[in-house]
Structure 1
Amino acid sequence: MVHETGTTSRASRKREAKQAQILEIAERLIAEEGIEAFSLHAVARELDVVTGTLYRYFPNKDALVAALHRRAIADLHERFGAHAARLSAALERVELRPKERVLTELCAASRFYLELPEQLPNRFRFVWLMLGDPRSLIRPEDVPKSAVPLLAFLGDVRALFERATQLGALSDGNALDRTLVFWSAQQGVVQLQKLQRYEAKLFDYRRLGAQLARPLLVGWGASQTALERAEQVLDQINLTSS
């Protein structure tokens, strides 16, 4: 019985490793060639196997794309959690009032998202594609599973807005609405990355993203002075999303 369990465990790990390899290749191909040119045949060619081999792991292209989407969002959520933990440890060494601290965490969340295009180009490009393409790239039956990691990621940011309101750093308001506005605004600014090749300084999305986050938070009741302090602290500790 022990032998069977060990064999099953090894087989499961081997299968998971192969799925991860397929997903890595698929993510890169989509980033390089676009979703229209992407196919299971292209992935099989990269792996030097016949296309039929991939059906052992993903029944079709749509299932592979849906799995990629879930993995990308789950990975961003995990990285955001690690980033928040490093930030929390760093802030223990800084003298901040509770209101200043939670605003620092919100500003850090903005910076985290704005750093992703350079920190994780392929992964973020895929998320960008899934959010920006007007077509529905995920089958309706796959949407509930894909929504789980996305809502978990947004839930962490929502918790920050709720705490900021409770501490009086922000005025009363709907934390979920603010989360969605804050996140979608950052996503919109990141679209300018494509235009940097024309005029890098003008279309510096990180600079513009910081300018966007500040008035949003002020509009929701944040103190300008507290936000300036938050930005100073983040510049000093210099966290990255990696």
Structure 2
Amino acid sequence: MRAIRRGAAAACAIGLGGSLLVSPAPARTPDAAWRDDATSRVEVLALLQTLNADLLSHPSATLTLERWCGAHHLAPEAKVVAERVRGEDKPLPEEARKQLAIGPDEPVRYRRVQLACGEHVLSEADNWYVPSRLTDAMNHELDTTDTPFGKVVQPLHFRRQTLSAELLWSPLPQGWENGAPVPASKDSALEIPHHVLQHRAVLFDQDNRPFSLVVETYTSEVLAFAPVVVTRP
């Protein structure tokens, strides 16, 4: 527990502009993985919570991931591209027609993409959208290109209503801050599952019409950078 508190104190000192110096974080290499120790677990949890808050406070997950990619040097160019996953259509979830305010016969299209920055797939997104509430040009671009959905529909000046935001994995057990046992440190890399965070949201256009239901599942690749190295002057 002392190790965790030291790690948290270091993070606070950095955030408050203390005298600690943080060296630039290069792209992760196999020898620069997160270690399985108490300090790393605190740092990883803080990063996941920071990303979660950033996603919740902005309408476009694509643009948020581009900022994240740039801030953590995940690729030479902080550009997120959508890689279409074809042939895996999923039925519209229950309650979705009510959430989208459409009748039983209104056509809905499905689009699944992986959002990648450089070699890192940061998110896997399922998207059900109402084509009649988009322009012909938008529908054509969605049908024929891999452009991220959020970029295609930007002219709608859309807003995002989050239905749920869930950490699928936590590096620390519930109640750790109150003394719950923390996994013992190991001389090895921290094992992080492939899926770490999931958001469900509905997108509304500027006329407050819902036009898209998205389920975004974020991967461990959002953490694919070397831990910061803290040194004292």
For normalisation by structure 1, the TM-score amounts to 0.22
**Which fold has the larger relative contact order, with Cα–Cα distance below 8 Å and residues 6 or more apart in sequence?**
2
Greater helix share, structure number: 1
Greater strand share, structure number: 2
For normalisation by structure 2, the TM-score amounts to 0.22
